[in-house]
Structures are given as C-alpha cells and as structure tokens.
Amino acid sequence: MNEELNYAEMLEIPVETVTVKRKEKKRRKGDEDAELSRRLVEQVNERMEEATEDPAFAESRTIEREVKPVAVNKKNKIARRVLIGEFVAVCALCAAIFVTNLVVTDSAINTFVRGLFRGNTASAADARTYADFKLNSVVNDYTDAELAVSESGVLSFTAKCSVYAPCEGKVSSVNGTAEGGYTVELKHSDSFSTIISGLDAVYFAEGQTVKSNVPLAYSDGEGSVRVMFYSGDSLLNCYTLGEGGIAWS
C-alpha cells in the first residue's frame, strides 16, 4: 500500500483521490476445511453449553429400576404344604409298619398289608356258616311232590318237576350221565354246601352262580331226587319240614 502512495505522489496525483483496492488472497482448500471444522467445533461447543444449562441434558445416568419380588400364589403354597404333609405321613406309616413288623407280627397293620399283597385271596374268603342262610323249597308250590327227611338228614322226593337250589350259591361240580342221572354240588360259603343227586337235566355249568328262585335242574319223576346239606364234611340233619318249607331247627 505504501508503494502505491509513493507512486501516486511521483505522478503528482493527490493522495485523497487515490483509491486503493486490496486484493483478497484466495483461500486454499485446506484453509476452507480448517475454517469449516472450526465453525463446526464452535457450534458443538455452543450446543453443549446450552445442554449443560438445561437440567434435562445436564447428566446421563443409568436408570436404576426397582425389582419387585414375584408374588407367590397362595394356592401354590397350600398345595406345596399338602404335598409335604402327605410325604411326611407316608414316611411315618412306612416307619410304623417296619417297627411293628419287628415287634408285633400279628398287628392290625401287618394283617392289612398282608391282605393287600395276597390280592383277592382275602376278599374272596366267605366265613359264613349254614345258620347264616335261609333255606328255600327245592320244588315250587305248584308241585304235588311229597318231601321226606331221613334221620341222617337226607331230603328226598319223587316227582316230575323243576328242582331249585335251597339258597344262593355257585356250582362247584356237575357229575353223572343222562342214563344214570346227574349230581350237582353247590358251594354257598367256605364251609356250607349242598349236593343234589338223581337229576335228569342240569341247567347250569360249573363255576356259574345260581339263585333260589331260578330252576337249577329237572326231574322226570321216574327216580328219586336226594338233597343233602353239608357243613364242611359233616352231613347236616338240623332242619325240619313244615308248612313254611325248610327251616333250620
């Protein structure tokens, strides 16, 4: 700039009339990038200053969440206690059985447990005696058969009629032939049984259950039908014949 003023004075040109134009230097691309970076940094700094003044952006902290304990259902608690109680009761029962097996072999618990392991053997036992059964007529009321009882206790009659079981039971055996006649043994309990012989036809097979009101067999009236009651192996003669039929005496 001083050189231009000196040159103007040499040409005797008033300095006031001289207009000095300063040519701006061209910025390099690197300078522009630096300027842009500087402005960007200033803008970021300004925003950061504003953010620190705002409580919402003042600080970034980890949010602590409150962990609530899982509620346990009351029903589940009760069911769990019941299961525990049952387990304790089973353990106590096993311990009691073990102790009684060692001390008292014929206790009620041992008898019960032995009955369970024996299966249906204990339940199939029938300890009823002949006196526990009510006897019914072996012929129906419309038959004119004359019944007689021997001194030994054998009931006999001769008639063409249906023959009935004296009381409910099960057929334990059927023996004989059509020519010689059939013999049927009925099992009423473990100790009480009936044997009927002289039958011309039998309507039930071995193992079937019979009723006192359903015909068991048939007699053609040509031979004598014999009825015998047994208690174990002993022939019973402790019954009588009357208007009401057969009854224990």
Can you spell out the DSSP letters for 159-193?
-EEEEE-SSSEEEEEEEEETTTEEEEEEE-SSSEE
Distance (Å, whole) CA 230 – CA 134: 15
| Residue 57 and residue 107 in one domain | no
Q: What is the CATH number of the domain that holds 237?
A: 2.70.70.10
Averaging pLDDT over each range in 14-18, 72-76, 170-174, 238-242, which range is the top one?
Answer: 170-174
Q: What is the pLDDT of residue 123?
A: 53
| Residue 114 and residue 91 in one domain | yes
Domain region containing 45: 23-61
At 66, the pLDDT band (50, 70, 90 cuts) reads: low
Is 117 part of a structural domain of the chain? yes
**pLDDT over 90 percentage in the chain:** 43
Asked whether 190 and 223 are in contact (CB, 8 A), the reply is no
Domain count, the chain: 3
Asked whether 164 and 196 are in contact (CB, 8 A), the reply is no
Is 186 part of a structural domain of the chain? yes
- Token pair 């053609």: residue: 220
At 64, the pLDDT band (50, 70, 90 cuts) reads: low
Is 239 part of a structural domain of the chain? yes
| Residue 227 and residue 188 in one domain | yes
| Residue 108 and residue 207 in one domain | no
| Residue 29 and residue 49 in one domain | yes
| Residue 205 and residue 98 in one domain | no
Instruction: Residue 147: count other Cβ atoms within 10 Å of its Cβ.
Output: 18
Mean pLDDT of 212-229: 95
| Residue 82 and residue 177 in one domain | no
Residue 19: pLDDT above 60? no
At 35, the pLDDT band (50, 70, 90 cuts) reads: confident
Q: What is the pLDDT of residue 87?
A: 87
